[in-house]
Amino acid sequence: MADKTYENILIEREGGITFLWLNRPDKRNAMSPGLHADMDDALTWLATDKQTKVLVLGGKGEAWCAGQDLRLYFRGTQDNPEARHKANSDSHSWRWERLTSFPKPTIAMVHGFAFGGAFTQLCACDFAIAAEDATFGLSEVNWGIIPGGLVSWNLTDMMMPRHAMYYAVTGDTFDGKRAVEIGLVNFAVPKAKLREEATKLAEKLIKLNPNVVRYTKEAIRAVRNMDDKQARDYLKSKQDSLVRNDKEIREQHGMKQFLDEKSYRPGLGPFRKVESV
């Protein structure tokens, strides 16, 4: 199927990697109601798109995302409860529900500015790589609003609590290197290498068994809010379900390569996926 086209976003699919771009560069990719609707539709489609094995979320132009569009999302819907409800629902749906339940790995590829509401899709992605000189900011305090939607929850979930408090209350900005230190992104790289590094990570993920990757990422997210007994029980059922659903896992190809063929050691390189399975 050809790439779908949208007014506010752009999709590029190549070699299993799908780059999904916010595409309102003139407005620094501020999120309008139209952009929310486009993203919700695109992520619904891409979840089952066979060409999409890894999703990379980027931003066209000088910014990754300048947060909610203050003019169109806030002011533009303040006297229209129906439009406000639709925008709010689409906004939450794609930035949190669709991304956190996306069945394939997701990578936030952040450059330029990342502000306010953009933290939700940043935290919803499984991995995040930032340009060293990216600028992150919780500017809500300047507009007389608290980091709402899910942003405050995202901050305390992802960042060390002292840093969440500091950056949310002061609105101070920080760069990509600092974002690594406080647990918000995995790596910071020079801006010129951002796409290359995101592609490298995507290619590494594509080489792994997609069901193990999916079940692992779901498990890592799920156990955080469980106690030890619930987690143990959940992980056992999850593993049983993985074995039931995947022939390669059932046939224990990884262990055969290590124990019988002696052709693979996890400390020395990635497991060789069995293409024929």
Q: How many whole angstroms from its chain centre is CA 271?
A: 24
> Which helix H or strand E contains 277, and what residues bound it?
none
Q: Does 167 bind ligand COA (CB under 6 A)?
A: no
3-class state of residue 81 by DSSP: helix
Taking the CA atoms of 171, 173, 176 and 180 in sequence, report the sign of the dihedral they define.
negative
Encode 20-53: b = buried (16+ Cβ within 10 Å), e = exposed.
Answer: bbbbbeebbbbbbbbbbbbbbbbbeebeebeebb
Least CB distance to ligand COA at residue 246 (A): 42
Residue nearer to ligand COA on the CB measure, 18 or 135: 135
Compute how many residues bind ligand COA; rule: CB under 6 A: 18
Closer residue to ligand COA, CB minimum distance, 24 or 98: 24
**Could you tell me the smallest distance in angstroms from the CB atom of residue 3 to ligand COA?**
26
Distance CA 143, CA 140 (A): 5
Contact yes or no for 56/107 (Cβ under 8 A): yes
Which of 55, 44, 49 minimizes the C-alpha distance to 3? Answer: 49
| CB closer to ligand COA out of 29 and 199 | 29
Do residues 196 and 17 lie in contact, with contact meaning Cβ atoms separated by under 8 Å?
no
Contact string 15-44 vs ligand COA (x = CB under 6 A): ------------xx-x--------------
Round to whole Å and give the CA distance between 139 and 100: 24
- Nearest distance from C-beta of residue 167 to ligand COA, angstroms: 13
**Does residue 71 belong to the site contacting ligand COA (CB under 6 A)?**
yes
Closer to ligand COA by Cβ: residue 130 or 202: 130
**Is position 75 an interface residue for ligand COA (rule: CB under 6 A)?**
no
Site for ligand COA in 230-259 (CB under 6 A): none
| Contact string (CB under 6 A) for ligand COA, positions 77-116, x = contact | ------------------------------------x-xx
Residues found near ligand COA in the complex (CB under 6 A): 27-28, 30, 62-63, 66-71, 113, 115-117, 139-140, 143
